[in-house]
Amino acid sequence: MEMDFKQLASAIKLIAEEKNLPEDTVQEVVEQALAAAYRRDYGDREQEIRVTMNLNTGDVDAYVTKNIVDKVEDPTLEISLADAQVKRKIAKIDETIEVHEQVSDFGRVAAQTAKQVILQRLREAEREIVMAEYEDKIGTVINAVVARVEGNIVRIDLGKAQGIMPRSEQIQGERYYTGQRLKVFLKDVERGFRGPQLVVSRGNREFIEWLFRAEVPEMDSGAVEIKGISREAGVRSKIAVASNVPGVDPVGTFVGGHGTRVNAVMSEIGEQEKIDIIIFSEDPTEYIINALSPTKVNKVVIDEKNKKAKVMVPEDQLSIAIGKSGQNVRLASKLTGYELDIESDKSEGTEPAAQEAEAKKEPAAPKKLKKKSELESSLLEAIEEHGE
């Protein structure tokens, strides 16, 4: 069975176009496959063989590495010193030399081997290109389509590759169906038996941050930033934000006029998930108070060494501070990095911690006092009225 190399050369160009692969990549794959087939049919399995192909003429040349010997016993692996010196005058015994051999045809087995290897290596080359393309997209949000739902796993079509969204990466309560278009966060790209396996998420913190980045251009300019996110996907998220420009309200910037920006994010993740946007603070006490919002806090006792904090709240605020199934305090703990212990404060006369935190800020300008004469006149008038 003779292999038509001119047709093969034409096929390389066609495959490169159809598979969207570089032509030189496809050519390299074919040359490696032909070398493997030549080695199997004509050479030795351990022999070093290089094959080149001219895509314009279809000519194929094989370069076989042979050992230079005084007396040839195996022509497949050896070449005499005299013949070697014809090709390279300074050739010596015990050296190796690359011998050119033009390939005109392949046997049936070799042709079949070449075909199988070509197909296999084309798939490998295609996978490597896809791997490289999506590895560059790790940590970004991309558009996708739900291919199918298999139990707790959602198969995602990303165009050139398939992805999976495990149960742990899904939004609680969100329903998925074949053909559904959605945004996903690319977490990882793994090598799978059938090609690159992409792991995507809609339930992680980074997904929320990227959605806000798309809605808040001030993040790209550096005017505002997200300092931390704690999230229970599908239920509630707490986001700490800060401003890097005097006069810019970070919370208002993220919420947007009439709530347009935060509503746009909620429309993507589902309006059942509530989003609390609070101001970040370097002061742990103030940060904890903000994180527990809308709870009124009386006192915060920080244990910096163990990263714990005891938070005293009015008795009627205890359930609000803890939240349903401990959700509010749990999210506040994750956000601030402190293990929070919420307790009811039954004592009286305790200055609320929020007021203490407020007191740390720059004081407002004091009101002007009345003049001494004005105070005395007012006092005399009051005495006279009392006497009457």
- Would you say residue 371 has pLDDT above 80? no
Average pLDDT value for residue range 151-169 = 93
Average pLDDT value for residue range 33-55 = 79
Q: Are 290 and 281 contacting, i.e. CB atoms less than 8 angstroms apart?
A: yes
pLDDT score at 54: 83
Choose among 127, 125, 131: nearest CA to 33. 125
Taken as a whole, the chain contains a residue count of 388
Out of 86, 117, 133, pick the residue that ends a domain.
133
pLDDT bin (cut points 50, 70, 90) of residue 169 is: very high
Considering the domain architecture, whether residues 191 and 298 belong to the same structural domain is answered as no
In a domain, 157, yes or no: yes
What digits encode the pLDDT tens for the residues 273-321?
999 999 999 999 999 999 998 899 999 999 999 999 999 999 999 999 9
In a domain, 186, yes or no: yes
pLDDT bin (cut points 50, 70, 90) of residue 110 is: low
Characterize the bridge pairing of strands 195-201 and 162-165: parallel
pLDDT score at 171: 97
pLDDT bin (cut points 50, 70, 90) of residue 379 is: very low
Considering the domain architecture, whether residues 124 and 18 belong to the same structural domain is answered as yes
pLDDT score at 108: 56
Considering the domain architecture, whether residues 10 and 129 belong to the same structural domain is answered as yes
* Mean pLDDT (the chain, rounded): 84
pLDDT score at 51: 87
In a domain, 380, yes or no: yes
Q: Are 342 and 318 contacting, i.e. CB atoms less than 8 angstroms apart?
A: yes
pLDDT score at 106: 57
Pairwise CA distance, residues 208 & 268, whole Å: 10
In a domain, 253, yes or no: no
* CATH code for the domain of 114: 3.30.1480.10
* CATH code for the domain of 157: 2.40.50.140
CB atoms within 10 A of CB 148: 13
Q: Would you list the DSSP string of 183-221?
A: EEEEEEEEEETTEEEEEEESSSHHHHHHHHHHH-HHHHH
In a domain, 82, yes or no: yes
Considering the domain architecture, whether residues 129 and 33 belong to the same structural domain is answered as yes
Residues contacting residue 80 through CB under 8 Å, at least 6 positions apart: 68, 69, 70, 71, 72
Average pLDDT value for residue range 237-247 = 97
Out of 100, 133, 166, pick the residue that ends a domain.
133
In a domain, 340, yes or no: yes
Number of domains in the chain: 3
List the domain range (segments joined by +) for residue 120.
5-133
CB atoms within 10 A of CB 192: 13
- Edge to edge, the sheet with strand 236-243 lists 224-232, 236-243, 274-279
Pairwise CA distance, residues 229 & 247, whole Å: 23
pLDDT score at 349: 45
* CATH code for the domain of 369: 3.30.300.20
In a domain, 373, yes or no: yes
Q: Between these two residues, 275 and 38, which has the higher pLDDT value?
A: 275
Considering the domain architecture, whether residues 145 and 50 belong to the same structural domain is answered as no
Considering the domain architecture, whether residues 124 and 19 belong to the same structural domain is answered as yes
pLDDT score at 48: 87
pLDDT bin (cut points 50, 70, 90) of residue 250 is: very high
- Would you say residue 70 has pLDDT above 80? yes
Q: Output the six-digit token pair for 295.
A: 């709870």
pLDDT score at 196: 79
Considering the domain architecture, whether residues 111 and 169 belong to the same structural domain is answered as no
Considering the domain architecture, whether residues 9 and 129 belong to the same structural domain is answered as yes
Residues contacting residue 212 through CB under 8 Å, at least 6 positions apart: 219, 226, 239, 254, 261, 265
Please give the sequence-ordered ranges of beta strands (E in DSSP) within 285-373, or none if there are none: 299-303, 308-314, 339-345
Considering the domain architecture, whether residues 93 and 141 belong to the same structural domain is answered as no
Any idea what DSSP says for residue 361? S
What digits encode the pLDDT tens for the residues 136-152?
999 999 999 999 999 99
How far is C-alpha 242 from the chain's CA centre?
23
Any idea what DSSP says for residue 167? G
Query: Is the whole model's pTM more than 0.75, yes or no?
Result: no
Pairwise CA distance, residues 12 & 368, whole Å: 89
Out of 203, 236, 261, pick the residue that ends a domain.
203
Measured between alpha carbons, how far is residue 110 from residues 39, 42, 43, 119, 185 in Å? Answer: 9, 9, 11, 14, 46
pLDDT score at 381: 53
What digits encode the pLDDT tens for the residues 215-235?
999 999 999 999 999 999 999
In a domain, 234, yes or no: no
